[in-house]
Amino acid sequence: MNLIFDLDGTLTDPEEGIVACIRYALEGLDRMESGEGDLTWCIGPPLRDSFAKLLDSDDPVLVEEAVTLYRERFAAKGLHENRVYDGIPDLLARLTEAGRAVPRHLEGAALRRRDPAPFPARQPFPRHLRCRDGRPVR
């Protein structure tokens, strides 16, 4: 039996990168006051919904500008700003030793863009790491 894990939020904690990218987008729109305080509630829900709420706007152009800025920083930095949860490397090693193949499933535009830059948080478990389309992540 193969096991499939999502990376962000399951094997790694993406909070640092996601929150920094949201703040970057709000700064870029000169709306930083919207990004003060706790932004962890933005992790999980659709990005456009979070920006619409943060910007207090249903303007699709403004929301799309925020998403573009978010993705700009995420592709350059945010993708790498996460940490592996405690115990995950050991868990994956034990599953592999028990005869379970442990492929990892990654999503997101930044990962699908074939970026050859190493992804620091995956260093403890590089075997079987695959993007949604089946390509190995380097």
List, by residue number, the catalytic residues: 6
Alpha carbon of 67 to those of 10, 25, 34, 98: distances in Å? Answer: 23, 7, 15, 42
Is 124 in contact with 50 (CB distance < 8 Å)? no
Q: Which phi and psi (to 5°) does residue 127 adopt?
A: -65, 140
Is the sign of the CA dihedral 40, 45, 49, 53 positive or negative? negative
